[in-house]
Amino acid sequence: MKIIVDTCIWTLALRNDVENSSDAVRELRKLILDQQVQMVGPVRQELLSGIRSRTQLNDLKNYLSAFPDLPIETQDHELAAEYFNISLEKGIQGSSTDFLICALASRYKMPIYTEDEDFFRFAESIPIMLYDPK
């Protein structure tokens, strides 16, 4: 089973500090070794945004190239907007990017691996699965 890994998990793993020993990072490494990681374009874009060094940007692009993106279609953007509206009606706010990730996860029937509390709130209103490493 493939698992969409959210930006926050990748960010923990890509840092060069003590957080590299966290449970989330160890789980991501396991998922990578088991070839279960699925990249999506919005996560790739978030990971590559804000990197000032051209060398670091190219290094990260090369590293992430091992993880192809799921195709995104018009229906995914439409579903993301629908999820946005459903959540907003229930008083739950989120970014367009997060709802696009939810739409992709829903269409491809893949869980999302995240520590972002927003996704746990989204799961109360929209049909997404969250990956539980336990």
Predicted TM-score (pTM) of the model is 0.94
pLDDT for residue 17 is more than 80: no
Residue 134 has what pLDDT?
85
Cα–Cα distance measured from residue 93 to residue 59, given in angstroms and rounded to the nearest whole number: 34
**Residue 15's pLDDT band (cuts 50, 70, 90):** confident
Domain tally, the chain: 1
Residues in the chain: 134
CATH number for the domain harbouring residue 65: 3.40.50.1010
State the Cα–Cα distance between residues 28 and 5, nearest whole angstrom. Answer: 8
Using CA atoms, how far apart are residues 86 and 92, in angstroms rounded to an integer?
9
pLDDT beyond 80 at 20: no
Please give the mean pLDDT across all residues of the chain. Answer: 95
pLDDT, tens digit, for every residue of 36-65?
A: 999 999 999 999 999 999 999 999 999 999
**Domain encompassing residue 110:** 1-134
Render pLDDT for 103-124 as a digit per residue (tens, 0 to 9).
999 999 999 999 999 999 999 9
Distance CA 123, CA 77 (A): 18
Q: What percent of the chain has pLDDT over 70?
A: 96
The mean pLDDT of 56-76, rounded to a whole number, is 97
Element (H, E) at 5: strand 3-5
Is the pLDDT at 129 greater than 60? The verdict is yes
Long-range contacts of 30-38 (CB under 8 A, 24+ apart): 31/3, 31/5, 31/113, 36/1, 36/2, 36/3, 37/2, 37/3, 37/5, 37/67, 38/2, 38/3, 38/4, 38/5, 38/67, 38/70, 38/108, 38/110
DSSP secondary structure letter of residue 102: H
